[in-house]
Amino acid sequence: MEDRMYIALAGNPNCGKTTLFNALTGSNGYVGNWPGVTVEKKEANWRRDKSVTFTDLPGIYSLSPYSPEEIVSRDYLIKNRPSAVIDLVDSTNLERNLYLTTQILECGLPVVLGLNMLDLLEKSGDKIDVDALSRELGCKVIQVSALREKNTDELVKLAVEAGKSGQAAAPVRVFSDEVEAALTKIEAGIAGKCEPSLNRWFAIKVFERDAAAIEPLSLTNAELEAFEVDIKAVEQAREDDAESIITSDRYEWIARVMDACVVKAPKKLSTSEKIDKIVTNRILGLPIFVVVMFLVYYIAISTVGTAGTDWVNDNLFSDGFFVNGASAEQYDADTEAWSDNHYADQIDGFISAATDDGIIDEDEATEVSDAVAAYQEDSEDADALATIDEFEAKAAGLTATDVVITDEDGNDTDEVIDSVSATDFQAALEGSLEEPDAADYDGFVPSIPTAVSEALDNVGASDAVKSLVVDGVIGGVGSVLGFIPQMFVLFVLLCFLEDCGYMSRVAFVMDRVFRRFGLSGKSFIPMLISSGCGVPGVLATKTIENEKDRRMTAMLTTMIPCGAKQPIIALVMGVLIGGSDGWWVAPMFYFLGVAAIIVSGIMLKKTKAFAGEPTPFVMELPDYHFPSLKSWWLHIWERVSAYIKKAGTIIFAASVVVWFLSNFGFTDAGFGFLVDGNVEQSLLKAIADCISWIFVPLGADNWMSAAASINALVAKENLVSTFGVLFGLGDATENSLSMWGGFASMFTDASGIMHAGAMCAFVAFNMLDAPCFAAIGTIRRQMDDPKWFWGAIAYQCGFGWVVGMIINQLWELFVLGNFGVWTVVAFVALAAILFQLFRPAPKFEGKDEHILDSLAEAEK
């Protein structure tokens, strides 16, 4: 085959089209977006003949311009003119699928019909007369099973033959006599204005008054008026509008075809229908879904997925790992032995006991502690030895009791060492000289940062280069890659639920709830996924057909607290309630995210940009089935690879920028790399100083709040690590006492009173504002329009700021008794939100697409 052939795959959602695409191509092929819209576009070559290229059109129910998917499918068939079209239909729901088939046959292209899901058809007991159906449709018809790859190659061969012949399928006469008569006149009137094979298609569009579709014909007002006479005559005779007449005639013709070609088995409830009576029940549907998703997230986030993520973070990007089991066991045993002695606790506890008993005073205790530190650095230090010997002589008969054991973050635990004598003190002093080092054991593989750092040292790299590569690139990208195990497990489970047919039911169940807030049920799934990670959550908005709903969902879905925001919540819990009995803090911020989405949805639906009722939720509910392993894997890999590519590249660039701002600045020697890591001199502080005024109404009037918020845009968990750097706490985590104290100090006034309102306001802002750069980049791709993208980011940041400002100002007024200009602003903002929430939805004029309205305007 010398010339390249392009074959379009068309069909309803859930008809098995993507399964067929993967079966024919052996991969998920090229994935991109159709020009001008965010609808996904897939292209790939036939695995048996690379000169045959398949284009997987979006799953649609018709070629009417009601959604971006329908528009791109129609434009591809009418403007791109593929060599042939494979129309795949669900043979168990033939009547619904043939509606699209009648429209495809009118496009003037070679068409082959594939009757899919043979196994389910056989189970139902229905029988289809393939030859009779082929005669009725005027095109080749073949039964296939995309899942089991039965007759799929034969289907393509028929399409290739049809494409070679170039003979278009004969348009079926589906309309009544009066409509056919009108169409015949219209066809004669537009002859020469389009290629002959498209005459009937354009004639039908003229009859339907589809102004956008017939624009290429450049019809004059006189021609339109002439056609209007015939159209009105049919409307008066049928007592209906033209578009409804066309739809009605199509279904009447389909009903006749069904009677002639299909033998229905006695009606009985299928297994899927029996299951649906339970899972889509008005009362049981939502609780069942909650239980299912709890299990999904418990497995992905709390057990299997977290185990994988912890391994990646702890081994690949932190400590390293062993490939020699015996060495690993020996290292663990040595470490446990070293840790069990609690050397530092015994030393500190013994010195404290000596102080409490008056054996030494506070100054002498400090000298002893300094001497111990010096001795551990250099066991030959004579001054340190002399001080320690003197101390041991004074405290020879002392025994410290109930010495508290601390954890790695310096927090007191519930464990104690019963007694520590002078002998124990000496043993601890000698034993703590050297903690077991994993690198000294055979079979140890260092972590990526360690290995890269050592390699850079070996080649003599400068401190700036080492910091860029290790702290900037590896540190930033590693924060994304660490989540891959969780994302993989999550996608394995979610893709299974989607491919087996359950997620279609969930969308219907949630549609009842979300429709009250101006969204469809499909908006719920992205928000649910975003509780794990915003990137796949935003990607999931592609399933929403309505462009306004899709954009609004992509804008709001990241307000749900994701996994990366958990350290921020934990930090606030530690400060407010000491890290214990704080079960209410995390739910409080989750409910804040949910409330923000609901409030925003109601308010935005009352603006012109998002006004209008949600698109009627019409979706076929496919029978439950176990998905094809190949299709399932490709579905998973498509999501995971998208996460890696889109998140990784954006994080990489952002990490380099933030690293540069944090590590370069102006010193006495001029502008350059800050070798001592003094953030006070960095560009980051300079920028933070310039925008710190933004946080004043939130009660966080310091540059550190601004700097942490900037870093949080790279990855939300960076907010905690940034404070660690700013407070000089090194690797302190969100659960450490030192971090709690440092964070609390930012919101403590001169009198020592902690401003909890300002703290919650600051955290609320960082929960609701623009998400991490990975999710921001995904939003940009989904919006596919700079104006919409920047509008979404501006709304997220603006709404988050307003919520934070209201929280802080209400606390200032009702708890601290302060009143000022920003208090007034807060009440005005709150009143504006309440007004937008409860006012009646205004009426906006929609875009007019009817020819008659266009004519009326022309006459005016």
pLDDT digits (tens, 9 = 90+) for 268-294: 677 777 888 888 887 888 888 878 877
Q: Distance (Å, rounded) from C-alpha 101 to C-alpha 80?
A: 19
Mean pLDDT, rounded, for 141-155: 89
Last residue of a domain, one of 139, 165, 191: 165
Is the pLDDT reported for residue 796 higher than 90? yes
Q: Where are the beta strands (DSSP E) in 627-743?
A: 664-667, 670-673
239 has pLDDT over 80: yes
Q: How confident is the model at residue 800 (pLDDT cuts 50, 70, 90)?
A: very high
pLDDT at position 852: 38
Domain stops at, among 440, 461, 478 = 440
* Weakest mean pLDDT among 177-181, 299-303, 404-408, 660-664: 299-303
DSSP lists the bridge partners of residue 627 as none
- Whether 589 maps to a domain, the answer reads no
Per-residue pLDDT of 438-461, as tens digits, reads 888 898 988 888 888 889 988 888
Q: Structural domain tally of the chain?
A: 4
Same domain, 141 and 192: no
The mean pLDDT value for 746-755 works out to 68
pLDDT of 1 strictly over 50: no
Q: In terms of domains, do 199 and 92 share one? A: no
Is 686 in the same domain as 818? yes
pLDDT digits (tens, 9 = 90+) for 754-795: 677 888 888 889 888 888 877 888 888 888 788 989 999 999
Tell me which range, 279-288, 360-369, 846-855, is most confidently predicted by mean pLDDT: 360-369
Interior/surface letters 291-330, b for 16+ CB within 10 angstroms, e for the rest: eebeebbebbbeebbbebbeebbebbbbebbbeeeebbee
538 versus 569: the higher-pLDDT residue is 538
**Does 651 or 321 have the greater pLDDT score?**
321
Residue 643 has a pLDDT of: 63
Q: Is residue 470 part of a domain?
A: no
pLDDT band at 104 (very low <50, low <70, confident <90, very high): very high
**Structure tokens given for 193:** 């204005």
For the chain, give the mean pLDDT.
80
Q: Under 8 Å CB-to-CB from 191, ≥6 apart: which residues?
A: 199
Residue 707 sits in the same domain as residue 788:
yes
**Do 18 and 112 belong together in one domain?**
yes
Same-domain pairing of 204 and 86: no
- CA 260 – CA 245 distance, rounded (Å): 23
Asked if the structure places residue 310 within a domain, the reply is no
What is the rounded average pLDDT of the residues 166-173?
80
367 and 246 housed in the same domain: no
Contacts of 107 (CB under 8 A, 6+ apart): 63, 77, 78, 85, 198, 201
Residue of 192 and 860 predicted with greater confidence: 192
The answer for residues whose C-beta is within 8 angstroms of residue 544's C-beta and 6 or more apart is 520, 522, 523, 526, 550, 553
Structural domain for 769, as ranges? 656-825
Q: Clarify whether residues 157 and 183 are in a common domain.
A: no
Q: What confidence tens digit (pLDDT) does each residue in 500-522 have?
A: 878 777 777 777 777 776 666 67
Place of tokens 């009937």: 200
Domain co-membership, 114 together with 199: no
On whether residue 675 sits in a domain, the answer given is: yes
Residue 90 near residue 622 (C-beta atoms within 8 A): yes
Q: What is each CA distance from 688 to 92, 691, 697, in whole angstroms?
A: 62, 5, 16
Domain end residue (candidates: 243, 263, 283): 263
Residue 552 lies in a domain: no
Provide the CATH number for the domain around residue 123.
3.40.50.300
Of 650 and 536, more confident? 536
Q: What is the mean pLDDT of residues 22-37?
A: 60
pLDDT at 820: 87
> In this structure, are 125 and 249 located in the same domain?
no
**387 in any annotated domain:** yes
Query: Per-residue pLDDT for 806 more than 90?
Result: yes
**Which residues on adjacent β-strands are paired with residue 127?**
263
Asked if the model's pLDDT at residue 198 lies above 80, the reply is yes
Q: Examine residue 838 and state whether it is found in any structural domain, yes or no.
A: no
Residue 354 lies in a domain: yes
Check whether residue 660 and residue 734 sit in a common domain.
Answer: yes
Give the predicted TM-score (pTM) of the model.
0.59
122 shares its domain with 250: no
Task: Judge whether residue 161 has pLDDT over 80.
Answer: yes
The CA distances from residue 108 to 83, 202, 434, 665, 797, in Å, are: 11, 11, 82, 66, 50
